[in-house]
A = this chain, B = another copy of it.
Amino acid sequence: MGAALEKPQEGTPVVVKLGTKSLKQALDKLTRVVPGRPSDPVLAHVALTPTYGALVLAASDGERDLELSIPADATPGPTRLVPAALLQRVAGSIAASEVTLTVTEDRLAVAGGGFQTELYLMEAGEELPLDFEGEPLLTAPANAIAGVFEPVLYAVSNEEYRAIFRGAQLEVHPDRLRAVASDGFRLALAERELPEGIVVTLPKEAEEAADAEDAEDAEETRAAPEEPFAFVTPKRSLIELLRLLPPGGAPVELRHRRGRLVVVTEDVRYATALLEGVYPDYRRPIPDEFVAVAEVEAKPLREALRRVLVLADAANARVDLAFEEGRVRLVGEGDYGRGEEVVELASYQGEPLTVVLNGRYLDDALQPVGATARLELSGPVSPMVVRDTGDVGYLAVVVPMRV
């Protein structure tokens, strides 16, 4: 009997019972990966594979592959392809808390409450291009990975220009993770230490990558082992990854192979193509000497920025910030009027100084900051560094406007 279950006979209906809510949630995640107008019709489908005690669902858009496992009353059966959007709508319409899937050669019957529906399956033989292979890199707590990617997401470029900026770079150091994003006018950087005992396996490619970087920049002559292993993940893959990470410190395995990142959690496997090319050296534009330093509550400063931005020039979002002892005056002026507001500073060290910059960039840079921001000013036309006084791992740079 065991053998019969291992290899179910073709033609025998496979029955899977599972919670409607977990099916809906899985389909909501999967259909975000399913392309709207796929080049290959097979990509418009989700793959359903019953296993012992679980239903495995998968989808792919050719660049991103996602596989989820949800608890189910099931025994192993063959993989079937079901139209993704339709199955989502059917599942979404079911009010009963439990749903029964009955899979035959060419039909998927979905039953819940008094409702009974049959979906026509894709012909057997077709399959999704799923690929979750990769060399193990490290297994880290989910919040360490989210903690470096989330704060830099805003700074990833949406411009076609300089394709490498359309992703965030993750650097895997032996003892910490660092993520960097930039669009050339501003930069965000977040760093988290890895808990002790985590083993990082740098792939062979790391040395090649380090060599390539040395070749790019002859000034850098450090030994290869000191270089972190780095790769650049496209923005929309990153947004998806952040949605798929489990909450808290649950373990997440990162795997890598040339041009591809694989993320594995307890019930999810997610693979994404990486961006090709070398990320520019971002350390040089970060100033390390300052003429003035202000500390200010982040929330009131952001709110004031948004108010003056309403009137600011729509094209460049110019805001003038005049810093002096105890306060900063924000002014935005455009074709339709002028907005002005004074915000109290918690402290200010330095001479009075006016900086002119894109107000939206500063608003973005303050977004990951908790209670109090530290603004390090290096002059009216030099980059401003934004830090979080409660988080040494976060840093942002905003380049002033040339006025």
Q: Name 11 A/B residue pairs within 8 A (Cβ), A-sorted.
A: A83-B336, A86-B311, A89-B310, A94-B307, A95-B303, A114-B341, A116-B341, A117-B311, A117-B337, A118-B311, A119-B337
In the bound complex, do residue A86 and residue B117 qualify as a contact, i.e. CB atoms below 8 Å apart? no
In the bound complex, do residue A114 and residue B336 qualify as a contact, i.e. CB atoms below 8 Å apart? no
A343 to B114, CA, bound (A): 8
- Distance in Å: Cβ of A24 to nearest Cβ of chain B: 13
The complex is assembled from copies of this chain, and their number is: 2
Q: Which residue of B lies closest to A309 (CB)?
A: B93
In the bound complex, do residue A336 and residue B86 qualify as a contact, i.e. CB atoms below 8 Å apart? yes
Query: Does A120 interact with chain B (Cβ within 8 Å)?
Result: yes
Residues from chain B with a CB closer than 8 A to the CB of A303 are: 93, 95
Query: Does A176 interact with chain B (Cβ within 8 Å)?
Result: no
Residues from chain B with a CB closer than 8 A to the CB of A342 are: 114
A93 to B342, CA, bound (A): 15
Residues from chain B with a CB closer than 8 A to the CB of A340 are: 115-117
Query: Does A304 interact with chain B (Cβ within 8 Å)?
Result: yes
A107 to B93, CA, bound (A): 55
A338 to B116, CA, bound (A): 8
Q: Which residue of B lies closest to A88 (CB)?
A: B310
Within 8 A of B (CB), among A326-348: 335-343
In the bound complex, do residue A337 and residue B120 qualify as a contact, i.e. CB atoms below 8 Å apart? yes
In the bound complex, do residue B114 and residue A310 qualify as a contact, i.e. CB atoms below 8 Å apart? no
Q: Which residue of B lies closest to A107 (CB)?
A: B337
Residues from chain B with a CB closer than 8 A to the CB of A257 are: none
Contact of A93 (CB < 8 Å), options: B83, B116, B120, B307: B307
A145 to B53, CA, bound (A): 58
Query: Does A90 interact with chain B (Cβ within 8 Å)?
Result: yes
Within 8 A of B (CB), among A46-101: 83, 86, 89-90, 93-95
A293 to B290, CA, bound (A): 84
Contact of A307 (CB < 8 Å), options: B107, B117, B311, B338: B117
Q: How many residues of A contact B (CB 8 A)?
A: 31
Query: Does A306 interact with chain B (Cβ within 8 Å)?
Result: yes
- Distance in Å: Cβ of A78 to nearest Cβ of chain B: 19
Residues from chain B with a CB closer than 8 A to the CB of A311 are: 86, 90, 117-119
In the bound complex, do residue B337 and residue A118 qualify as a contact, i.e. CB atoms below 8 Å apart? yes
- CB-CB under 8 A for A307 and B83, given A120-B337, A337-B120, A339-B90: no
Residues from chain B with a CB closer than 8 A to the CB of A335 are: 120
Within 8 A of B (CB), among A3-27: none
In the bound complex, do residue A336 and residue B120 qualify as a contact, i.e. CB atoms below 8 Å apart? yes
- Distance in Å: Cβ of A76 to nearest Cβ of chain B: 24
A114 to B93, CA, bound (A): 50
Residues from chain B with a CB closer than 8 A to the CB of A118 are: 311, 337-339
Contact of A339 (CB < 8 Å), options: B116, B308, B343: B116
In the bound complex, do residue A310 and residue B116 qualify as a contact, i.e. CB atoms below 8 Å apart? no
Binary contact track A281-308/B, C-beta < 8 Å → 1, others 0? 0000000000000000000000110111
Residues from chain B with a CB closer than 8 A to the CB of A119 are: 311, 336-337
In the bound complex, do residue A115 and residue B304 qualify as a contact, i.e. CB atoms below 8 Å apart? yes
A285 to B279, CA, bound (A): 71
Contact of A338 (CB < 8 Å), options: B114, B117, B338: B117
